[in-house]
Amino acid sequence: MTAIAVSLCSVACGTTPDDRPATFEFVSLEVLAPACATVACHSSSTNARGFAFDTLPASRQALRSLVIVGNAQASQLIDVIKRNRMPPDEPMADQDVALLEAWINNGAPGL
């Protein structure tokens, strides 16, 4: 019974290291869009503060002004997420921040 429970939790909660692709498309569609691009915030229909992340063209445009390629620590994107805890209503998971940092530090491919 315990083994079944552990197996189910392994599937539900995830147990492997984060091997998600650190690509522009993946971080845009799987990290930034669900977290930041709710309709009243950084979506194309609101474009809050001039940034939208709900499509790849919009995300590319936003990230070009928020990212310093190769330097996540100096990038405004990471600074805003960490210091101001964006998005503020549903905070971003540490694993997602790490994936964004890895993408930037790897040269922000696709940007």
Among 32, 62, 72, 92, binds another protein (CB under 8 A): 92
DSSP annotation string for 32-86: IHHHH--TTSSSTTT-GGG---SSHHHHHHHHHHH--TT-GGG-HHHHHHHHS-S
* Long-range pairs, 49-52, Cβ under 8 A, ≥24: none
Among 63, 87, 101, 104, binds another protein (CB under 8 A): 87
SS3 98: helix
Number of residues that bind another protein (CB under 8 A): 53
Q: Is 61 in the site for another protein (CB under 8 A)?
A: no
Phi, psi of 70 (to 5 degrees): 90, -5
Report the residue from 69, 80, 102, 111 that binds another protein according to the rule CB under 8 A.
Answer: 80
Does position 50 interact with another protein (CB under 8 A)? The reply is yes
Which residues, numbered 19-48, are part of the site for another protein (CB under 8 A)? 19-21, 23, 25-26, 29-30, 34, 38-41, 43-48
Which of 1, 2, 4, 16 touches another protein by CB under 8 A?
A: 16
* 17 lines the binding site for another protein (CB under 8 A): yes
End-to-end CA distance of the chain: give it in Å, rounded.
Answer: 48
